Amino acid sequence: MQGSLNNPYKLLQVIAQRELTGCLSISIPQDESIGWQLYVGGSRLYFATTIGYRPERFGLLWQQINPDLPLPRLSADKSEYESLYEWQLEHNLSLTDFRRLLLSLSREALIHAISHTNAYVKFESNLCIKPVLIAAPLSDLIKPIVSHVRFWQKLHTHISSPFSRIYLDRSKVKDFSHFWENANHIPSNAQGAIGASPNVSLQNVSLTVWLDILEQKLSIYEICHQIGKEPHVLSTWLSPLIINKTLEVFPSATGEAIAFQAPTGPLIACIDDSHTVQRQVKMVLEMSGFQVLGMTDPTTCLTSLVRQKPALILMDITMPEIDGYELCTMLRQSRHMRNVPIVMFTGRDGLIDRMRAQLAGATDYVTKPVNADKLITKVQRLLQNSQGSSNQLINGNIDVKMGGS
């Protein structure tokens, strides 16, 4: 089956009725550089993803779906599914958790694949992924996402997909600044002209950050990764500015934007029950090339730490059930973790906190709120020291001393 289709969902219904197995490829006239692939067997979905190598989408979704595990390395030489399957085998992730991850990735791709009402389609029979690990009924997947599909259908008049690039010309900075300053006074139905408006505001992100981001001509996925929001939330915020021409929208292939690349540096674990702190630390470290293992529950982190073997651990002091001092003491009693550098987040004037952290076995501390430059400098120094210490440990034990802020 190949040709133009008013609604890809109708073709899915035909495939289900005929009990066909294969891959349905969907692309759009507005931007032929992007598209989606749905691997199906009759009325069941095996996997859904984008066509081609799209790490900016994957990086954002991983941050939202499974931030507690290191980011898999995608490769232009392999399909997303192949990379994920190899990663699952390498990290011994349970099939239950892996299937849940595949479903989450597939659900997001399905939303965008069927939200277009005028798409180019191609169905290749008997083309399938291997091994098939999920076989989710399409009807069960589509029911919960109907509102999201309708939202994007309305939005497509102005934004073809989350790969679209958003740009603020310097001549429109004054208009954007005025809109930002008055965002909290704009009626919710005006803020969410395209769809239902979440109870959030454009002012959740500072004006300086917005101006820096929007001059880069980044995709919606890339912007969301930087500010920690979902594409439909960001699109709701920005749609009035797109409609009134304050912001410009460009196809995915336009411009030299900064694409998200999977970090390949040492793995840093961050244990903090604050999702805000997690996002900030993750962004700072990943921009410097580090992999980040984020964990919000200190009671369940020991197994993950032993399995993932981070090069350094960042840890908050004030956490529920087990505080940082107790957890640090537990880690120092573990033969797997006793020599891993541990940096504790302390209050600005927390002299007693620092003394207790040292007694618990912490290597160093960082004051809150975290300064990005100081954090990177400290992490790099401690990793270098740790590498040198590892070499010295071959011939005997060494003393670990507490550093300054």
27-76 pLDDT, tens digit per residue, is: 888 887 889 999 999 999 999 999 988 888 988 898 888 777 778 887 77
- Are the beta carbons of 379 and 312 closer than 8 angstroms? yes
Mean pLDDT of 128-144: 93
pLDDT at 68: 77
> What is the per-residue pLDDT for 273?
85
149-161: pLDDT as tens digits: 999 999 888 899 9
388 pLDDT band, cuts 50/70/90, is: low
In tens, the pLDDT along 200-241 reads 478 888 888 899 899 889 999 999 988 888 998 899 889 999
* pLDDT attached to residue 364: 92
Whether 358 shows a pLDDT value over 70: the answer reads yes
pLDDT of residue 259: 41
Give the closest residue to 295 by CA, choosing from 270, 325, 326. 270
Residue 197 tokens read as 């408006």
Average confidence (pLDDT) over 103-128 = 90
- Cα separation of 274 and 295, whole Å? 10
- Show Cβ contacts of residue 99 under 8 Å, excluding neighbours closer than 6 positions: 133, 134
pLDDT greater at residue 165 or residue 318: 165
Average pLDDT over residues 244-248: 94
Residues 309 and 303: their CA atoms lie apart, in Å, by 10
Residue pair 4/120 in contact by the 8 Å Cβ criterion: yes
**pLDDT attached to residue 191:** 42
The pLDDT of residue 404 is above 60: no
Q: What integer pLDDT is reported at residue 270 of this predicted model?
A: 93
Domain range 267-391, CATH class? alpha beta
Chain region(s) in the chain for CATH 3.40.50.2300: 267-391
Chain segment 263-303, per-residue pLDDT in tens: 678 999 999 888 778 877 887 888 778 888 888 888 888 88
- Report yes or no: 31 and 129 within 8 Å, Cβ to Cβ: no
In DSSP terms, which residues pair with 273 in a beta bridge? Answer: none
Q: What is the pLDDT of residue 283?
A: 74
**For residue range 307-348, what is the model confidence (pLDDT) as tens digits?**
888 999 999 988 888 889 999 999 999 888 889 999 998 875
Residue 11 pLDDT exceeds 60: yes
Q: How far is the CA of 15 from the CAs of 38, 107, 186, 193, in angstroms?
A: 11, 18, 46, 35
Confidence check: pLDDT of 400 > 50: no
Distances (CA, A) of 41 to 17, 49, 123, 132: 11, 16, 12, 10
